[in-house]
Structure 1
Amino acid sequence: MKITKEQISNAIWILAILLILFTPLGFYPRVWVNKIVATVISPSTVDKDERATLKNYNWNLVDLEGKSTNLQSKQGEVILVNVWATWCPPCVAELPGFVELYSDYKNKVTFAFVANDEKEKVEAFLKKKGYELPVYFQASATPKELESGSIPVTYIIDKKGNVVVDKTGAANWNSDKTRSLLDELISE
């Protein structure tokens, strides 16, 4: 049996695709693809009649310095919660948009970037990227209304505790649409 150039080419393409999809070598290409997708997708709001209301704000979180906080202390404020991990390509892809959004809204909105990862990995990742975000780790069970089986997941909660945005997957969080929504929620 003679092997043709076309068969060799096909085998190389299949091998390349398998490497990208199923090995650590594919992490950065997956991040790149997710960044492209995230620039197109702007998160949308949950229909008013379908919005969950946060009944229990009791969620203990610990920051990178080991300081404990509780989401309960932020009740009555506009809150953005993002659950992410350093090993998650869509999570990594959407972080640059969050960095810009946080820079402009950190004094108006409570941000909680809840890492689903080891502290050392998160610290190294943030240092390498130069990101300054309020990162926390869970120290108690997640409130029922904020539970998700997937990451990244982002919630925007209004001052009354309504979950206005419940978005799983990468998105462009630095969009005009998100900024307008935050401005509207802040002014309420």
Structure 2
Amino acid sequence: AVNRIVLLVRTPSMPGSSSGVPLQETDFRWTVRDVHGEAVPMDVFRGQVMFLNFWATWCPPCVAELPEIQKAYDRFGEEVAFVLVTGEDPARVYAFFEKHGYELPVYFQTGPVPDVFAHRTIPTTFIVSRDERIVLSKKGAMNWDSGSTFRMFQKLIR
């Protein structure tokens, strides 16, 4: 008899499809803090299209993509849960947002994230569908103010 070990690699697929990396209930068992310092359990975003972005003010690629994220938020913020997570000091982030005129939902990391959202690079962005699948995982900056991004969001929010 031959014993086989099969390694299943969870790879995101096309946005809007019913495939992608399926999330487990435990993938939503972590907490961030909002601008008021209140704990926000990530499971409040379950069942929504979510734009989950890990970033920092000291990261040039993160800063470079913020204007496009702002435009995407302005267009889709009513239908997509934008969750921008940073490990920085809130006062520093508030000053940065005020200086640049950003009005984005920022949250503050309070501990480790589940393995499925683990990242070594920032910015790192995950797009999660309503049926709780990662349909896009992007390490590095991206132009979020593009036709392809808008079509992806439109397909996901239908």
What's the TM-score bracket when you normalise by the shorter of the two chains?
0.7 to 0.9
Tell me, in whole angstroms, the C-alpha distance in 2 between the residues paired with 1:109 and 1:176: 16
Map of 1:175 onto structure 2: 146
Confirm whether residue 155 of structure 1 aligns to residue 142 of structure 2. Answer: no
Instruction: Decide which of 89, 94, 97 is 1:123's aligned counterpart.
Output: 94
CA contact (8 A) 1:97 1:172 kept: yes
Q: CA deviation at 1:130?
A: 0.7
More strand by share: 2
Map of 1:46 onto structure 2: 12
The 1:122/1:54 distance shift into structure 2, 3 A limit, reads same
Tell me, in whole angstroms, the C-alpha distance in 1 between the residues paired with 2:135 and 2:46: 15
Q: CA deviation at 1:71?
A: 1.5
Instruction: Decide which of 75, 99, 106 is 2:46's aligned counterpart.
Output: 75
Q: Residue 170 of structure 1 aligns to a residue in which SS?
A: coil
Q: Mean Cα displacement is larger for which, 175-184 or 84-93?
A: 175-184
**TM-score when scaled to structure 2?**
0.85
Computing the radius of gyration from Cα coordinates, the structure with the larger value is 1
**TM-score when scaled to structure 1?**
0.72
Instruction: Decide which of 33, 58, 61 is 2:29's aligned counterpart.
Output: 58
Q: Residue 104 of structure 1 aligns to a residue in which SS?
A: helix
Tell me, in whole angstroms, the C-alpha distance in 2 between the residues paired with 1:170 and 1:181: 17
* Number of aligned residue pairs: 143
